[in-house]
Amino acid sequence: MAPQGPQAPLEFGGPLGAAAMLLLLPATMFHLLLAARSEPARLLGPPPDLPGLAALWSPRALLLLLTWLGLQAALYLLPARKVAEGLELKDKSRLRYPINGFQALVLTALLVGLGVSVGLPLGALSEMLLPLAFAATLSTFFFSLLLYIKAQVAPASALAPGGNSGNPIYDFFLGRELNPRIGSFDFKYFCELRPGLIGWVLINLALLLQETELRGSPSLAMGLVNGFQLLYVGDALWHEEAVLTTMDITHDGFGFMLVFGDLAWVPFTYSLQAQFLLHHPQPLGWPMASVICLINAAGYYIFRGANSQKNTFRKNPSDPSVAGLETIPTATGRRLLVSGWWGMVRHPNYLGDLIMALAWSLPCGVSHLLPYFYLLYFTVLLVHREARDERQCLQKYGRAWHEYCQRVPYRILPYVY
């Protein structure tokens, strides 16, 4: 397969940056897992005890992980309430995707509820996080390698705009094929929202059950973290179709970056607050809890309002809820919203997401920086993502994008950034 050649702009610092990320991402994840259970719970500095291979490698954990992936794959294959079409591809075709992610969440909840009611020791999962994360890391390296090999025989039209530089490390990291599939089973779409996201809330629940076993009842802080993050995951799966227009699906190849992100990083680092709370209980009264709930509600309101407004507008610009909004025409025939949420800042959805990230950390108190890792990392991720999206929008819309930037000068936070 012909590489894209030197004209394709390299992202993430090119091959060196990609090589660094291959090491840094798993190392950071293990550092966080170890720090959360350690007494000082330091975000910076080495964790107190580095585990040996015996503490990391467990065939049982690998089996559990594969069973989980198998269960989610089986739920993915169940009849869907709707089959949606993705955006038009290079070869003018459109792929079809089952919309049954929320159904998978509900069925998983029923199965887990049934299991717990007959004595399944779900809380024990919290003691297996280290070997599970290790199994997930090994599996994601292996899976990314298979995807890299599969891309060798993919037609040029199936390759992603990035990830085909000809440098194996860079391409392995970014991903070569845009939508790798076997039959109608779409690996990227499956991994984006199911095993990792549902796995995240399952780990949270296991930590809550373990806390209940240890201390007699779940703490308010743990309850809030579980509730907020369940709302976020439920929302993502309820609006599953919206993922079809995201950069991950339409632009990025499926390589280590997304595979590791979806299957290891999300479940094991996004559950960091709940992990921290299990080992470092925090007092939280109802007045402070109410303030935190309000912050989460405000973040969710902005996040959902902005995402729904854009999705509705992209699907049907004459929908009554968006028809009255001011827009800018572009040479592609598509228009850009310049009032409503998208007239406030250029990424109002990111702002809402960051406000929620703050609300997820606050129940952990202010004695440690560790539970604020998600907020810090997410800020970096969204600022970087926003810059990538700006570049792509400038390419797509040219002068119209310049005009949009003039009319809406702030990117994420009004009057600040």
Q: Minimum CB separation from ligand NDP for residue 342, in Å?
A: 4
Could you tell me which residues are beta bridge partners of residue 388? none
**Contact (CB, 8 A) for 209 and 188:** no
Region at 337 (left for phi over 0; alpha for psi -120 to 50; beta for the rest):
beta
Q: Minimum CB separation from ligand NDP for residue 350, in Å?
A: 5
Output 211 or 389, the one with its CB closest to ligand NDP. 389
**Contact (CB, 8 A) for 356 and 300:** yes
Q: Minimum CB separation from ligand NDP for residue 7, in Å?
A: 22
Task: Give the residue, chosen from 42, 150, 314, 407, that forms a contact with ligand NDP under the rule CB under 6 A.
Answer: 314
85-90: long-range contacts, CB 8 A cutoff, minimum separation 24: 86/179, 86/244, 86/249, 86/250, 87/244, 87/245, 87/250, 89/157, 89/178, 89/179, 90/157
Count of CB atoms situated within 10 Å of the CB of 351: 23
**Contact (CB, 8 A) for 200 and 37:** no
* 11 near ligand NDP (CB under 6 A): no
Binding mask 341-370 for ligand NDP (x = CB under 6 A): -x----x-xx--x-----------------
Binding mask 272-311 for ligand NDP (x = CB under 6 A): -------------------------------x---x--x-
* 316 near ligand NDP (CB under 6 A): no
The piece of 142-150, 187-195, 215-223, 241-249 that touches ligand NDP (CB under 6 A) is: 241-249
CB-count exposure of residue 266 (10 Å: 0-12, 13-18, 19+): buried
Q: What is the DSSP string of 161-230?
A: SSS-SS-HHHHHHH-SBSS-EETTEEHHHHHHHTHHHHHHHHHHHHHHHHHHHHHSS--HHHHHHHHHHH
Q: Minimum CB separation from ligand NDP for residue 231, in Å?
A: 13
* 385 near ligand NDP (CB under 6 A): yes
Task: Give the residue, chosen from 337, 345, 355, 359, that forms a contact with ligand NDP under the rule CB under 6 A.
Answer: 337
Q: What is the residue whose two structure tokens read 């997304």?
A: 258
**Contact (CB, 8 A) for 393 and 334:** no
Output 212 or 245, the one with its CB closest to ligand NDP. 245
The site for ligand NDP, by CB under 6 A, has a size of 20
Q: Minimum CB separation from ligand NDP for residue 130, in Å?
A: 22
Positions in the binding site for ligand NDP (CB under 6 A): 245-247, 303, 307, 310, 314, 334, 336-337, 342, 347, 349-350, 353, 385, 389, 392-393, 404
